[in-house]
Structure 1
Amino acid sequence: MSIEFTFFGAAGTVTGSRFLLESGGRRILIDCGLFQGQKSIRERNWKPFPVEAGSIDAVVLTHAHIDHSGNLPRLVREGFRGKIHCTTSTRALCDILLADSGYLHERDAQRANQYGYSKHHPALPLYTAADAKASMELFETHPFEEPVTVAAGVTVRFRRAGHILGAASVEVRMGGKTLVFSGDIGRYGSPIMEDPIPFKAADVLVMESTYGDRLHDSTDPEAEIGAAISETVAKGGTVVIPSFAVGRAQSLMYVINRLKQRQAIADIPVFLDSPMAINASGIYCANSEDHRLSEQECHAAYGVATYTRSAAASQAIIDVEGPKIVISASGMATGGRILHHLSAYLPDARNTVLFAGFQAAGTRGAALVDGAPRVKIHGANVPVRAQVRNLTQLSAHADRDELLRWLGGFTSPPKQIYITHGEDRASQAFRSAIEEKFGWQAEVPQHFDKVVV
């Protein structure tokens, strides 16, 4: 039986993961993420779903990051009534990530109405925190490696992807065929996450390529972060780290704690200024079976930081005199509390802004990493005099060689390979790397492409 497979997201771009499988009258959606980055890409979030939400039988979620899960509340609001299948830790993280996303959409709409910078009157949120809460009622969790039936004639199996807590690659058996979705593949040898585990065979493989055209810097991230902190402290400055709340913030605290234990950096204050990152850290500690750290080690590492939950406590950080480290969301500096820290610290050459991962095209983070002399924050042009660095060593994404290593786990070549989750340059480069290393042919689909498998 044939399967119609449509690329409704993460094709020709990194974000907006959304793949629809149709066979035998069944519709299965793999991921339901938000588009992020350039305005032309973000505007896709507002377009109607390509198929009627109520016609989808089930959603299978690879992991909790917003570019994979962030459109679920809207899907549910528009009529989806099936189950959302994922791992236990993925559900726990979605519980905080989706609620926060809904709150941010509401706040952005409120600000647009207050300051009149939207062409819509009134501006409305994409979805609300209440929509996010309603979507959580449809989640159904499963352990890794256990086959589960998600619709008549459709089974799935989750396998550790090593990306963040609960992240999975997914095997789908449908219409007499086996399809594997890599999800986001993590790093090998991470101090926190377990190594990714490949599948052995597939008729169809949908493979990510976020870093498909490059290798991560081989410099020891602990040494480089330590050097950046020490250099900034010597100038009397502050280190500001825009961080993804899930995965990256926890890795940063782990490294900073190790540096302090070794007395490799000064014992300066560390602030974790992100309620979501604080909550995510608790979930990491409560689910130690899903990573390398024991619960005790987890609490010790994350105890290096002072947690600031309230807006007032966040604002008060700026009044703390002397060198300090501020870890705050979001990782690409697109919104959240990090913005008032950037406004305060970017104009001072004593300070350092330390990015720690991929910066999607069109984001404020990408502009800063590319050397922008000023950036717009809350309507004001902020001069950039602080030193700006980007460390890819802490990235939760596998680089080109690690992606190829994961592919090397297949004992036979997939019959069809589709390269997704990448800027076009990265996807095309990774397609060439696969052909060169394995002799396998692969395709790079574009948005809305449909294939029959």
Structure 2
Amino acid sequence: MTSPTLSFLGGAGTVTGSRFAVSTGESDVLVDAGLYQGLAELRRRNWHPSDLDPAALDAVVLTHAHLDHCGYLPHLVREGFTGPIRCTPETAELVEIVLRDSAHLQEEDARLANERGYSKHRPALPLYDLGDVERTLPLLAPVAYESRVDLAPDITGLLTPAGHILGSSCALLDVAGHRIVFSGDLGRGNHPLIRPAGPRPAASTVVVESTYGDRHHEPADPELLASAVRRTVARGGSVLIPAFAVDRTELVLIELHRLMSTGQIPRVRVHLDSPMALAALAVYRRAFAGARRSGPDLRTAIGELHLEAVADAAASIRLNQPTEPCIIISASGMATGGRVVHHLAHQLPDPRNCVVLTGYQAVGTRGRQLLDGARELKIHGRYVPVRAEVVDVPTFSVHADADELMAWLCSAPSAPDVVYVVHGEPQSSAALARRIRTDLGWLAVVPRLDERVRLD
């Protein structure tokens, strides 16, 4: 009898591109199908052929709807995958938005690269297109939390809350008698809208993320954002906030409403310039409609901010040169693509303006370059000077830090046989693995890309 195996096809040695394959010899299931982002070296991996045969996959399990966990799906379908994609209902709604936006941006980037000649490829092509996305969406097969589902004849799965974004989950798989749990991306327990992650399911094998595996979140300092807005408005500039379209935008809107309603920042126009973020916001509003909550109300925040939705490209172009101080929220959160890139090109050269970074910035992204103090940024083949103020507001992060990851690992009644530490930059994954070994005495391994291990 063939031993069941786990293969690390992505998310190993980097914080993007999560893909983990489970095989029994008879069945094959993929957990997450994420795009690589950031460094060109990483992005090129999206094009690399894999030993995995998409046509032979029985199913895909998604932990959540962020691009680095779901953005590779249409390419799998293009290469022959036809099985079910299991995820929560909320994740299915958000994935539809994320994938359509991803295909649109890839097609647009390829078009611009061909027109302006700044790509090395002739012609530049998208990894997948909208047609591939439309063939992917019917495969989404939602399943409720805590509902066991057959993924293959000898593999079953169950999703539990992860507390990261709407619909996010941990994935527990029973694989030919062996139990393995994938953390997905874990939240922090203090999200104003999302229920926190539950205890870690008992399993002999644990695959845990390590985005913040080497650091701790500092106590929230709301004055960071408030003072940045006040300074910028006082000098006649505008605040540009690159924000992830899914979840981060909602958190930023709630905080801006709080700061304006308490008089900590002036009431200026707030523009949401991202079709994807607007669509995701509608999903969040439906999810919490009628919910009795003691915390912040998303609908109230949107209404009292008099949020201005920027739906068409012409209105977005006009925002490149605001006529008065304002706040612009636009995707993507790490400035890897989308309308925010055009805004950066126009607003970075003006010292009156301010760019507020609101979350994790992966190595190789424009957001990380700004965070590291870059004085120029390459955008659409040209270098742009960075004269605007850049402010990092890390308290918006919805990733568990090192202590919170350890607490989740310890929340099960029994220790696992092994913990595989993934989805982190090398120093972050190494630090978390070292702490697991030292503090808990458990076997902890940082796997290599394409490494395969036995589960028995």
Same fold by TM-score greater than 0.5 = yes
User: What's the TM-score, normalizing by structure 2?
Assistant: 0.96
Match of 1:275 in 2: 275
Provide, for residues 186-223 of structure 1, a one-character-per-residue CA deviation record: whole Å limited to 9, x for no partner: 11112122211122411100000000001122133x33
Match of 1:188 in 2: 189
Q: How does 1:209-248 map to 2 (within 5 A)?
A: 209-220=210-221, 222-248=222-248
Q: How does 1:70-109 map to 2 (within 5 A)?
A: 70-109=71-110
Match of 1:122 in 2: 123
Match of 2:344 in 1: 342
Deviates more, 1:411-420 or 1:228-237: 228-237
Deviates more, 1:226-235 or 1:250-259: 226-235
Provide, for residues 300-340 of structure 1, a one-character-per-residue CA deviation record: whole Å limited to 9, x for no partner: 22332211010111112234322111110111111111112
CA drift of 1:369 comes to 0.6
Please give the secondary structure, in 2, of the residue aligned with 1:332. coil
CA distance in 2, matches of 1:64, 1:294: 27
Provide, for residues 360-390 of structure 1, a one-character-per-residue CA deviation record: whole Å limited to 9, x for no partner: 1111111111001111112221111111111
Mark the CA change 1:138 to 1:290 in structure 2 (over 3 Å): closer, same or farther: farther
Which AA in structure 1 matches 2:281?
A: S
Match of 2:287 in 1: 287
Q: How does 1:112-191 map to 2 (within 5 A)?
A: 112-191=113-192
Deviates more, 1:431-440 or 1:401-410: 431-440
CA drift of 1:295 comes to 12
CA distance in 2, matches of 1:258, 1:424: 37
User: What's the TM-score, normalizing by structure 1?
Assistant: 0.96
Please give the secondary structure, in 2, of the residue aligned with 1:159. strand
CA drift of 1:237 comes to 1.5
Which AA in structure 1 matches 2:444?
A: A
Match of 2:46 in 1: 45
Mark the CA change 1:430 to 1:351 in structure 2 (over 3 Å): closer, same or farther: same
Matched, 1:333 2:335: yes
Please give the secondary structure, in 1, of the residue aligned with 2:299. helix
Mark the CA change 1:28 to 1:290 in structure 2 (over 3 Å): closer, same or farther: farther
Q: Does the CA-based 8 Å contact 2:118-2:381 persist in structure 1?
A: no
CA distance in 2, matches of 1:24, 1:376: 47
Please give the secondary structure, in 1, of the residue aligned with 2:170. strand
Please give the secondary structure, in 2, of the residue aligned with 1:150. strand
Matched, 1:13 2:14: yes
CA distance in 2, matches of 1:46, 1:57: 22
Match of 2:384 in 1: 382
Which AA in structure 2 matches 1:165?
A: L
Which AA in structure 1 matches 2:15?
A: V
CA distance in 1, matches of 2:194, 2:401: 16
CA drift of 1:294 comes to 8.9
Q: Does the CA-based 8 Å contact 1:288-1:294 persist in structure 2?
A: no
Please give the secondary structure, in 1, of the residue aligned with 2:437. helix
CA drift of 1:289 comes to 8.1
CA distance in 2, matches of 1:10, 1:338: 26
Deviates more, 1:113-122 or 1:174-183: 113-122
Q: Does the CA-based 8 Å contact 1:191-1:292 persist in structure 2?
A: no
Please give the secondary structure, in 2, of the residue aligned with 1:166. coil
Q: How does 1:384-399 map to 2 (within 5 A)?
A: 384-399=386-401
Mark the CA change 1:241 to 1:292 in structure 2 (over 3 Å): closer, same or farther: farther
Which AA in structure 2 matches 1:380?
A: R
Matched, 1:310 2:278: no
Q: Does the CA-based 8 Å contact 2:241-2:358 persist in structure 1?
A: yes
CA distance in 2, matches of 1:99, 1:311: 17
CA drift of 1:156 comes to 0.7
Match of 1:441 in 2: 443
Which AA in structure 1 matches 2:184?
A: G
Which AA in structure 2 matches 1:297?
A: D
Mark the CA change 1:293 to 1:67 in structure 2 (over 3 Å): closer, same or farther: farther
Deviates more, 1:254-263 or 1:429-438: 429-438
CA distance in 2, matches of 1:439, 1:349: 52
Please give the secondary structure, in 1, of the residue aligned with 2:236. coil
Provide, for residues 70-106 of structure 1, a one-character-per-residue CA deviation record: whole Å limited to 9, x for no partner: 0100101111111000000000001110011111111
Please give the secondary structure, in 1, of the residue aligned with 2:383. strand
Please give the secondary structure, in 2, of the residue aligned with 1:318. coil
The RMSD of aligned alpha carbons is 1.7
Which AA in structure 1 matches 2:192?
A: P
Deviates more, 1:163-172 or 1:345-354: 345-354
Q: Does the CA-based 8 Å contact 1:212-1:429 persist in structure 2?
A: yes
Q: Does the CA-based 8 Å contact 2:242-2:334 persist in structure 1?
A: yes
Please give the secondary structure, in 2, of the residue aligned with 1:145. coil
Please give the secondary structure, in 2, of the residue aligned with 1:59. strand
CA distance in 1, matches of 2:282, 2:18: 27
Q: How does 1:417-428 map to 2 (within 5 A)?
A: 417-428=419-430
Q: Does the CA-based 8 Å contact 2:34-2:67 persist in structure 1?
A: yes
Which AA in structure 1 matches 2:236?
A: G
CA distance in 2, matches of 1:224, 1:193: 24
Please give the secondary structure, in 2, of the residue aligned with 1:157. strand
Match of 1:412 in 2: 414
The gaps in structure 2 that reach 5 residues or longer are: none
Mark the CA change 1:33 to 1:289 in structure 2 (over 3 Å): closer, same or farther: farther
Please give the secondary structure, in 2, of the residue aligned with 1:371. coil
Provide, for residues 260-313 of structure 1, a one-character-per-residue CA deviation record: whole Å limited to 9, x for no partner: 111221010111100100100000011128998599922222332211010111
Q: Does the CA-based 8 Å contact 1:215-1:401 persist in structure 2?
A: yes
1:351 to 347, 350, 353: 353
Aligned length: 452
Mark the CA change 1:259 to 1:142 in structure 2 (over 3 Å): closer, same or farther: same
Match of 1:364 in 2: 366
Which AA in structure 1 matches 2:283?
A: I
Percent identical among aligned pairs is 46
Q: Does the CA-based 8 Å contact 2:189-2:197 persist in structure 1?
A: yes
CA distance in 2, matches of 1:74, 1:119: 22
CA distance in 1, matches of 2:251, 2:296: 16
Which AA in structure 2 matches 1:128?
A: D
Deviates more, 1:119-128 or 1:261-270: 119-128
Match of 1:264 in 2: 264
Which AA in structure 1 matches 2:425?
A: E
Provide, for residues 153-176 of structure 1, a one-character-per-residue CA deviation record: whole Å limited to 9, x for no partner: 211111110111100001001110
